[in-house]
Structure 1
Amino acid sequence: MKNKIKLFSILSLFLFVLPLMAQDIYFPPRGDWEKKEASTYNLNFSEAVKFAENNEYSESRDLRQAILKGFQSEPYHEILGPTKRRGGPAGIILKDGYIVAEWGDTERVDMTFSVTKSFLSTTALLALQQNLITDVNDKVGEYLWDDTFEGPHNSKITWKHLLQQNSDWSGELWGSYDWADRPPSDQNIDEWRGRELHEPGTYFKYNDVRVNVLAYSLLNVFRKPLPKILKEEIMDPIDASTKWRWFGYDNSWTTIDGLKIQSVSGGGHSGGGMFINTKDMARFGLLFMNNGNWNGHELISAELIKETVQPSTPNPNYGYMWWLNADGPRQWENINANIFYAAGFGGNFIIVDQKNNLVIVTRWLEPSKVEDFMQILYKNI
């Protein structure tokens, strides 16, 4: 009897301590964020911060000009959505949820370009979680009413293909053609336009038109604006500010249930996309660092987070619109291979390190310098 009582006491203590252990991560309330000195964790990020401040993205702070220059090789490229003049270098480093380093104006709202893709893929996870999409391997055309996925090639495309950017979807959306988005520099545009399509799932191609096809498809599944879905299911629960905005293009409107709804873009290279401050980006990263759980509330299942960061077959460094530091051509040397990150034009990054409970957000860092920045940052980790 005594042994049973002792066992019961130990079990009760374990069940009591386990929830406390799960609360080791700090979750900042809206409008406030507790800071700790990096030295509390025997860390020093001063050199990395200085490096980020001294290696600002080299193109114009007038992002309209930077966009037009950056994508001038694309035929028929034009600005279709809003743009905004950017600020200077900014960033935050979180350890266990606490701010341990901060630089620049972290409250300033700026464009974030292809970091938007990771927000977009999150809405897809919500559709899966709510069973609006039964399986990621379902064909997308089965969920849409129009001819977006008609034809012998497009009809094969699944949600997974769109999320991993290996669908090779062919067509036109909002006046933009898939073949005009980031065409190969060594190929005549007429040859590229008439190319033989790759089997879906076999060939990775970074392509915003196809990303926007995903956004349009998800809009048709939810039958509500994706920014509204993201706000209600993710951004409000993580106590994000009221400052962020998610735009589409001037012409990316459709009618659903008698209402005109804008289909948002998954990037900003034609304008639009996510406009957000550094702190809200850090909150989003913290949610993923903690496997979709915010202060005891599961917003995204851990299983879906795990699925999101699995390497795709044609690109081992890409999951569901998150870049992976796995073995592959894009891996950062001598950095934790389990790190995953969102990356956008102009040097915008949300970097998640679940092993060390770190989230790193850096903005307007010269993109070619991000690996050097990470090498410096991880010297004493």
Structure 2
Amino acid sequence: MLRLNKSFLENFSTKIKSMDFVIFSLMILIALISLTVLSSLDFNNKGLVDKHFLRICFSLIVFLIAASINIKTWYKFSYFFYGFVILLLILVDFYGLVGKGAKRWLDIGIFNLQPSELMKVGVIMALARYYQYIKTDEIDRIKNLVIPITLIIIPFLLVIKQPDLGTALFILLVAISILWLAGLNLKIFTFGTLSLLILAPLSISFLKPYQKQRILTFLNPENDPTGAGYHVIQSKIAIGSGGFFGQGYKEGSQSNLSFLPEPHTDFIFTAFAEQFGFIGSLILLILFLILIFRIDSISKVSRSTFGRLLCFGVSFNFFVYIAINIGMVTGLLPVVGVPIPIMSYGGTAMLTSMFALGLVMSAKIHKDENIY
């Protein structure tokens, strides 16, 4: 038993040494920045920092476990993980917690789990596994499109039903990026895009009233400055007041005087920009860009199609997260409730980000593995 434990520890230690420490360091640094911002917002004894710190620690354990597991194992269990999250999404419909007019969470005791966040990784894993053995010249065949389209449509419809249009569109966008990288013909993408554009006006009639209001607010937030447009207007005021160097740590007036809604979750970048200004925001975005490029670099050295598509999907996932969130808080995109990876307060969002990075690290540690 002692010899077995020693062998396990040696094997685990070897895997840890093979990690990409640039990604690991960036992950820890962004988490520390997140704690710093939350500590400046932790008024009225909400305990945000303590809860967020515990979630970071728990998610870090998940990251290390995911990284140490062989990429072959993740390949084998990809469909199982996808199916498990589909089951969670179905359970949400029956037993989910209702908040802000939507049923998106399951109470698991430790925190409220949002399965739609996990599906952002689950659909990447499922599609990456499917295309592992599909030859490039066979990708465009109708019979080879049925399964991936099904894998995309099922979670899309389940998340739409909650309703959570933003997350559903996010899952769709990330899934389409996997199809693109797998080699799907440009003509099919062009046809699909034109079809969506034609159907877009018709789809508006199926939107919920609050979703229609978000679109109208995006087009003209000043039309309802104390109602639907309040979030965006206050966010732009906060970012603008940060100026070049920021107002200083804990000096953000919009955040600390409660003018800025949800400064610890969807609008945490706004709170950061208000305190640390353009320079601080630029440095933060550079950190995220380096993280994304490092993930892409791992995808290029992986020997398996599964590993390459998995890493690309995660990097694109992070890119879209950040791009939509920044666009949302600056008024360039509608408010859709998309958090920033690792930074925003939220248990499922943190867990999903760390788990996804753990999968990337597994691909790095086991990059020479062939999946057969």
- Shorter-chain TM-score: what band? under 0.3
* TM-score normalised per structure 2: 0.27
* TM-score normalised per structure 1: 0.27
Q: Which has the higher contact order (CA 8 A, sep 6+)?
A: 2
More strand by share: 1
More helix by share: 2
